[in-house]
Each structure stands twice: as structure tokens, then as C-alpha cells.
Amino acid sequence: MPRHRLLASRSPACLHPRPPNFSQARSIRRRRQKDLDNGYEAHHFLVLAPDDELATRGAICEVQIATVAAHLFNELEHDISYKVHGHAVTDDEKRFLRSVLGSTRALDHMVDLLLAERARGEAKQTRLDDASELRVTLERQADRPLTGDFARLFRMLEAILEPLNAAALERLGTFRDIFERGGKLVTELGIDVDDVTCYALGILPDYVDEFAMMAGHWKGPISPLRRAIEQGVAKLRAGVMR
Amino acid sequence: MNEARPQIAVHDLVSALERFGGRYEAIDVFANDIVELSQWAATRPLPPHIQAVNAEGTVFVVRHGTQSYRLEIFPAEGVARLSRWLGAAPNQVSSAIAGGALGAAIAAALDKKGGDGWIGGLLLGLLMGAAVGGSGNASTAPHRVFALVFDAAAKDWLPYDGGLLRWMKERLTVQPA
């Protein structure tokens, strides 16, 4: 259940001067209460009170949980329709009540969207721990599987970005823009490369000196990625010289 | 503890910072890796090109040719940071300088390294640049950095993308006050 759905609650069955510690309570039954006729909506829990309070030990309480918006409607509906205070409900009052119901559900929906967006934003701030997480992040941006040496790309990006996370990658540019820039350089160099190399060439113009220094110190046989970076660096530096 | 001999001179920090023009604003290293600071901590005088600016002994002005640099030590983090001195460097410097901050910084650096030998004598440096993309909250936005390792034999900085990359970034990053 989203956090905002826990904002309004009441536990009418438990009347005690000191409220029990419900964080220690055990939920023994949960059901969603939705009345299609009057619009009432809440989650009802039957909970077993914790053992640390003698007065409530063994008590079973019903806790009703609704969003703030739903709680507003539930209270209005309860006072106006359910108990029929004062006078009989008029058609206009019913119409306005339905409008309130629509508005509170729209508000709930907007809050859901807002919190989902917040969750996405927070996820982008999480550090990428390894090459596989980098791969998942880039494939999500590309919306397709990608090929290449992600272990090497991870170390390259880890060396130039702090922190290395999805937000940092987005700040380098959209995957599409970076890939197009890399593809253009690939065409100019007349080489055939995998996706990782194309991506690395796409951000190369912003990191010419760093990538040149890095690639020049990689040990082992010259990989296609290293060859492409060295060719790209030479091309970009020649362009600057002209 | 058999402490490794510090091998990075302050002018080595200058050369790393200036290697990429104005692209990076500062370089961070572990405080105990700097030769001059370690010698000063061992009660030897500071060389003439390094002068303390405050009595706490946390900020120094470094003269290198016609340029002035700011060398700041962060006692809690064990980090020393060299950056360009913006504006006119001060001429008046403190005469009585406390060494406690430097001692604390060296102790913190050794603690972060987990004792001598934990990082195999690697002399690590992290160039610190501006926020990537140039906008957003400067303190939380991802920053341009470049990880380096100092080759003491060649007296040169090399790129570092080894297994301690994440470790060094986390320990050499000083949060702004």
C-alpha cells in the first residue's frame, strides 16, 4: 500500500487512554472495504494487540485505513447519507456528493502518480554497483538489448562520474543523442562497432583527454573498444587542430 | 604501525590539476600522502612555497611559479585538497600555527586506509570538476571527476580504473560544509 494511503486511520474498537503500539501488532485479517453504492472505500484490518500492554493484551481491534482524500469523502458521506441527520438527502446533495467522490478519487490518482514519479527519481540517485546494473540502466534508456564490453564501460564511467547513477548518465545526454553522436563518429572512422563502443564514442567529445589517457594505459591485447577510442581521439584532435 | 613513506609533493598535485587546463577545480588526496605536510607533522618547517593562512593550520597558500593555489586539509576526512586560489592570495600569514588539525587529518587518512598496506601503497588522487550537465543542485548533482594514481617512480599521474575505484571516490569526496 502506498505510504500516503496510511495517512488517515481510526480504530474505533480499541478505546484505551494510551493507544497500543500497533507497530508491534500482528495483522490477522485484512480486507478492502468498498461500497459501490455509496462510494465508501478503505482498508479494514483486524489486528491482534501486542502483548506488552496488559490492558489490551489479546484484544482484537479493527483498524480502518484510507487516504486523506477518501477519508474526507467517507466522513461526508457518513454524515450526510449513512446516518440521515436532520433532513432527507436531496438530489442536489447527492449530485454534489458524487462530485466530491470523483474529485477525491482524482486526487488519489494524482498523488499515486506523484509518488511513483518521486520513486523513479529516487531510484535514479541509487549508485550503479556493477556492470550488469549499468547494462540494465542503459538498456532501459535504449529500450532494447545492447551489446559490448559493459565491464570496461562501467570502469570508464566510474572513473569520470561521482556518483555513477542513472541520473548522472541522463546528465551526459539522452541515450539517443549519445548514440547518434557516436554513430556519426563511427561512420566518419569507417569502422564497425558494438553498442558499448558506439556509446563510448558518443561521449568521447566531452572526455577526449581522459579517455585517451585511459585507453593508452589499458593492459593486454588491443581491444576493438580501445582501437575505436584511439581512432576517435585522433579524429577529434585533428578536427580541433584544423 | 609501519607507515608508508609519503611520496606526493605539492607540485605533483599542481601538475595533476593543470594537466587538463581549467577542466577540474581541485584534486583530493589522502593527507598523509603529501610529503611536505608529513614532514611538517614531523616538526620540520614548511618549505617556503607553502605558507599557512590560518592559525588552525587547515588552509595554506602554495606558490608555484606565478600561480597561487589553496591547499586545504580536512581533519575529519583525512583529505587534503589543492585548488586554484581565486582572487589575490593573502600575503599576511599566521606565524603561530597549530598542528593539531594536520595530525588529525593524517590519523583519519590512515584510519580510512585501514592501516598501512591495506591499499598496497597506492597513491590515489581524485580530480574534482563541476556538476555534469552544468545545472541542478550543485551539492547533490553528479560531478565530473577523474580518478588518478601517482606513479612515484616515474613521478607521473596515471588514470586509475582499478578495483578500489568506488572505495577511493567515497573516501576522497569531501562534502561541502
The DSSP code for A134 is H
Cα gap B109→B113, rounded to integer Å = 6
Tens of pLDDT, residues A99-153: 999 999 999 999 999 999 999 888 888 999 999 999 999 999 999 999 999 999 9
CB atoms A159 and B159 under 8 Å: yes
**pLDDT of res. A219:** 87
Provide the percentage of residues in chain A whose pLDDT is more than 70: 82
Does the pLDDT value for residue B19 go beyond 80? yes
CB atoms B165 and A160 under 8 Å: no
**Banded pLDDT at A52 (limits 50, 70, 90):** confident
**pLDDT of res. B101:** 87
Mean pLDDT across A76-98? 82
Q: Which phi and psi angles does A165 have, rounded to 5°?
A: -145, 180
CB atoms B159 and A160 under 8 Å: no
Cα gap B31→B72, rounded to integer Å = 10
CB atoms B142 and A158 under 8 Å: no
Judge whether A214 is closer than 8 Å to chain B, CB to CB. yes
Q: Which phi and psi angles does A13 have, rounded to 5°?
A: -80, -20
Cα gap A152→A211, rounded to integer Å = 12
Say which residue the cell 450526510 belongs to.
A80
Cα distances (angstroms) measured from residue B68 to each of A160, B11, B36, B74, B84: 26, 11, 17, 20, 6
Say which residue the cell 580504473 belongs to.
B161
Provide the percentage of residues in chain B whose pLDDT is more than 90: 49
Q: What's the angle, vertex CA B77, arms to CA B54 and CA B10, rounded to 5?
A: 60
Closest chain A residue by Cα to residue B134: A171
Task: Evaluate whether ipTM surpasses 0.85.
Answer: yes
Which of A10, A5, A25 is closest to A69 using CA atoms? A5
Q: Where are the domains of chain A?
A: 3-124, 131-237
**Banded pLDDT at A6 (limits 50, 70, 90):** very low
Does the pLDDT value for residue A16 go beyond 60? no
- Min Cα distance A141 → chain B (Å) is 18
Provide the percentage of residues in chain B whose pLDDT is more than 70: 87
CB atoms B142 and A210 under 8 Å: no
Interface test with A, best of B25, B128, B145 (most A CBs within 10 A): B145
Q: How far apart are the first and last CA of chain B?
A: 32
Q: Are A189 and A227 in contact (CB under 8 A)?
A: no
**pLDDT of res. A198:** 97
Angle between helices A131-142 and A175-189 (to 10 degrees): 90
How remote is the C-alpha of A2 from its chain's centroid?
Answer: 12
Q: Where are the domains of chain B?
A: 10-172
Q: What nine digits make up the cell of B3?
A: 607507515
**Banded pLDDT at A11 (limits 50, 70, 90):** very low
Which comes out higher in pLDDT, residue A53 or A158? Answer: A158
**Banded pLDDT at A60 (limits 50, 70, 90):** confident
Average pLDDT, chain B: 86
Q: State the pairing for strand pair B79-84/B67-74.
A: antiparallel
**pLDDT of res. A108:** 94
Does the pLDDT value for residue A18 go beyond 50? no
